[in-house]
Structure 1
Amino acid sequence: MSSSSAADTNTPPKRDWRAALEVYLKPRVVGMLFLGFSSGLPFLLVFSTLSAWLAQEGVSKTTIGFFSWIGMMYSIKFFWAPVVDRFPLPVLGRLLGRRRAWMLLAQIGLIVGLVAMALTDPTENLAALAWFGLLVAFSSATQDVAIDAWRIEAVDESIQGAMAATYQAGYRIALLTAGAGAFYIASGTTWPFTYLVMAGLVGVGMVTVLLVAEPEASARASLLPEEPWVQAHLERCGFLPQKLRGAYGWVLGAVVCPLVDFFARYGLPALVILLFVSLFRVTDITLGVMANPFYLDMHYSLNEIASVTKLFGIAMTLGGAALGGVLIVRYGILRPLLASAILAASTNLAFAWLASQGADAQTMLLFNTGLMDMATRPDIAAFLWTPSLNMPWQPGNPGLLSLALTVSADNLSGGMAGSAFIAYLSSLTNTQYTATQYALFSSLMTLPGKYIGGYSGWVVDNFGYMPFFSYTALAGIPAILLSIGLFYIHRHETPAHKQQESTSS
């Protein structure tokens, strides 16, 4: 077998722009849009949307804070990902295939959990609401594992950028639905009715699961490990009872083999790859912790923040995601990945620029007390004695245009980085262990950023916003350097998706 880059990056087959755009018309790429919606819908329903419901019901802020622990399910999904990856469901697995069966089962769990939450009164049975919330979070995390595996196995590696872009688009639309959409519904009806509506929207994902096809790689996968070293090891364990040896073999195949496979394919550079995965999102996660406090401190209103950073910002993110998918189809993964790493770090400096745009007191005094009135008065001296000049100065913000430019740069680069990064992580997985390996990567990619982000407030309190944003930009330099190193690491390796062919031949 001829060797080629694992990420299909050094010599990618170039396509013209029309062919690159037509990839978004492929049925599985379109289906990924709706699966992305199904993946993103439950997220806010156990986070900020649930917090708003509890707050309106008079639940204490301390208790609401404890409810945020429900989201830990998303961070520990790696522990049961091997089960989703290797274990076919008895009935649904035969009817739908391994990946679609797990997706459908998780969606059933989502509907049950959301309906149960809707029928539970937080003022009377808060503990039950917490348990139902855990069911929603567990089902959502399980669905994520199955959807990630389906996405990676469903199409060729060259189309992973488009799959990542449509996934992000569906996910962002779902966040708008479960966030702003849920608030609009609740304001006109009730929170229980809102959660019933959200439970009904899970049907979008269920219909999609029934329409899309099971990936060929999933259909070929075996429950028992096929690696020669595992089989030889199990033969040496013949003294164990049959059932115990079978369970031991399953653990080796589901947990140990995915890790051994990854390090066997990449060797020592696997540590560099894992370091890159853990550092790529440090810059945007660290900034994100202080983004909303920064907007408020710059004297933007809540409506202005919502309009620019949520609605307009998400539109820019979707545009960046689509752009990233097109660039990956045309140029491969690594070059857009490197460009994204540079842009993700450099656009943080736009926030430092915005922080410097706060108008000084004298300028704001003129604008806030009637500069146009002064220009139209025949007697300028009379204007200087107007009572408004004696009022305390009210600080203003740098303007919506400045905010929009900053958000545009950040979200456009963030959407592009998301497509490139998801496509790269997908290229690292072996289709024999798709769910387990991708769950490992997706869990690892947020841990350092969340830890470092915890100190963001301390940095702002002690040094201010401009040094903080400069610091977050510098935090992206390691990811940039490691992105350059990936060109060297991936220059001769066999693509991960062909690993199964090499082991079976």
Structure 2
Amino acid sequence: MSETIKHLFNPKFLHMTLFGFSAGIPYFLIFSSLSLWLDQVGVEKSAITYFSWAALGYSFKFLWSPLVDRLPIPVLTAKLGQRRSWLILIQLLIVFAICWMGFTDPAQGINALTQMAFAVTLLGFSAATQDILIDAWRIEASNEKDITMLSSVYIVGYRLGMITSGAGALLIADHFGTSMDNYKYSAWQYSYLIMATCMLVGLITTIKIKEPKKADSLVYQTRDYAAVLLIFIMAIIALILCYQYTDQFFLSLQKPLIAWFNNEPLAAFMTTSGQLFLAIALAAFIGTLVAKSPIVNRAMVKEVYWIPVADLFKRHRKHVWLLIGIICTYRISDIVMGVTANLFYQHMGFDLDEIAGIVKTFGLIMTISGGLVGGVLVVRYGIIKMMILGATLSALTNLLFMIMASTGKSLIFLTFMISADNLSQGLALAVFVGFLSMLVNRQFTAVQYAMFSSVMTLFPKIMGGYSGTMVEQMGFASFYLMTAIIGIPVVVMLIYAMKKQAFEFNQSS
């Protein structure tokens, strides 16, 4: 324990905590705080949860992680280094996106909602890019002995950032007088603009830290990296255009499906799923066409994308599908549940100050405790055993939400429920981040960790986007039972992995 306390006084742990705070600020501004804002405006729950797809940038960040990892920024990189120059640029972009949201009133109609969607998407993209850089810095600053504890203090900072943009944003909005019965745009505007100023913590930390030795700069020519960026841009344009020009077609399909199944939420789920998969398929097709064009340096694409993936398959070839299964489903239970959590609290009759005071502020104590306890327990019991414990608790605590949905509003039960839920989430996330960090080969730090963290959230966030539709169809109680059940498979996979001693942690350099 004394060794753990000693570690916490190392400057890199303070820097990692502050970086965690900077990474945590955007998260609730995309999810819970925004959902309450839109709910007060009167936006349908199914439409509100679709906004969570704006955070899919977190799940596709591996596509541009090589650019962030290697491409220098004119002037800035020469003065600050590769990691710090990109961090400053991206953190300024985050500030701009949050301000854009603050200056948009979603009550002004469809055009305002569209503008909000663009602002949220920009925030999701820039926040995901910041995560790439912070994750790389954390791994490059760590060693095998302290990597889990470094991940734990990162989670502490992350949760502090989340509580600031969660409880803080709600308290500010409540202070300026907005509520379900008396919506005030100015209250939310002040709240989001104040959240933008909180990003100064990340900017100051970036200025203070030292550039890690592992952050190499340009290997190929700038035009080669620009060509790879073009692949991504063209794919995104194809995805957007597909959504725009197929919207009416898929809406027209809803009526016959409603008549066929006699179930409007199911018909909406099927049509939106079809539209999403068609858009992704078209984006992949266009991206592939551009990738095969003469302007793209295929040797570079192979090195920055294929070799890191091949390295993962080579080192974990015996249990690679087990590894993918665990990464894809470890956080599915809490992510799918979490998208609707604030809507649930408001539905149960809790005021903004009650949500901020108990759900956000008090829950922070338990989250920090869970993160630190997870880091300490890993040292003693091993990371796989603690992952099993974290996954089990994350699924079981969702049943508490089911109980509240059936029994009604209770501040005492809410306090107990949030304590248990946040403790389990803090422990599970800290242990899981440590697990992913230990799997990474330091030769491909930014790219491999971006791939891991992208896969980690992709399926849960796509499913979470439909959570509003599922709640409308199933009700809150049945929905939370379902989120507990879908957490069972990953527990089974982890038990199998422990018995087979499936994973070896070797951070080659």
Same fold (TM over 0.5): yes
Alpha-carbon contact 2:53-2:461 (below 8 Å) kept = no
Distance 2:482 2:35 in 1: 31
Identical-residue share of aligned pairs (%): 39
Query: In terms of mean alpha carbon deviation, does 312-321 or 302-311 score higher?
Result: 302-311
Deviation at 1:171, TM superposition (A): 2.0
Deviation at 1:209, TM superposition (A): 0.9
Give the 3 Å change call, closer, same or farther, for CA 133–476 of structure 1 in structure 2.
closer
Partner of 1:338: 388
Partner of 2:85: 101
Alpha-carbon contact 2:28-2:34 (below 8 Å) kept = yes
Amino acid at match of 2:159: R
Deviation at 1:112, TM superposition (A): 3.6
Amino acid at match of 2:201: V
Q: Which has the higher contact order (CA 8 A, sep 6+)?
A: 1
Distance 2:187 2:405 in 1: 40
Match 1:211 to one of 208, 211, 216: 208
Give the 3 Å change call, closer, same or farther, for CA 91–300 of structure 1 in structure 2.
closer
Partner of 2:199: 202
CA displacement 1:437-472 (0-9 Å, x = unmatched)? 22222222233334555468658966983x655554
Give the paired residue count: 424
Normalized against structure 1, the TM-score is what?
0.72
Distance 2:346 2:14 in 1: 38
Amino acid at match of 1:313: G
Alpha-carbon contact 1:88-1:223 (below 8 Å) kept = no
1:319 aligns with 2:369: yes
Alpha-carbon contact 1:218-1:431 (below 8 Å) kept = no
Alpha-carbon contact 2:336-2:463 (below 8 Å) kept = yes
Partner of 2:68: 84
Match 1:253 to one of 292, 303, 306: 303
Partner of 2:314: 264
Amino acid at match of 1:27: P
Match 2:357 to one of 294, 298, 307: 307
Give the 3 Å change call, closer, same or farther, for CA 449–55 of structure 1 in structure 2.
closer
Match 1:411 to one of 414, 418, 422: 422
Alpha-carbon contact 1:34-1:170 (below 8 Å) kept = yes
1:426 aligns with 2:437: yes
Look up the SS of the partner of 2:443 in the other structure. coil
Partner of 1:172: 159
Alpha-carbon contact 1:159-1:329 (below 8 Å) kept = no
Partner of 2:486: 475
| Root-mean-square deviation over aligned CA pairs | 3.8
Partner of 1:385: none
Query: In terms of mean alpha carbon deviation, does 202-211 or 292-301 score higher?
Result: 292-301
Partner of 1:449: 460
Structure 1 segments unaligned to the other structure (5+ residues): 1-16, 226-243, 359-395, 501-505
CA displacement 1:146-201 (0-9 Å, x = unmatched)? 11111122111332222222222222222232233234445447555544433332
Deviation at 1:251, TM superposition (A): 1.2
Look up the SS of the partner of 2:334 in the other structure. helix
Look up the SS of the partner of 2:211 in the other structure. coil
Distance 2:480 2:35 in 1: 29
Query: In terms of mean alpha carbon deviation, does 482-491 or 313-322 score higher?
Result: 482-491
Give the 3 Å change call, closer, same or farther, for CA 288–200 of structure 1 in structure 2.
closer
Deviation at 1:252, TM superposition (A): 1.3
Alpha-carbon contact 2:319-2:502 (below 8 Å) kept = no
Deviation at 1:113, TM superposition (A): 3.7
CA displacement 1:25-60 (0-9 Å, x = unmatched)? 221111111111111223344455456667888999
1:162 aligns with 2:149: yes
Distance 2:309 2:327 in 1: 15
Distance 1:402 1:57 in 2: 29
Give the 3 Å change call, closer, same or farther, for CA 281–254 of structure 1 in structure 2.
same
Amino acid at match of 2:455: L
Distance 1:295 1:196 in 2: 25
Larger helix fraction of residues? 2
Alpha-carbon contact 1:85-1:433 (below 8 Å) kept = no
Distance 1:257 1:494 in 2: 19
Distance 1:205 1:437 in 2: 23
Deviation at 1:477, TM superposition (A): 2.7
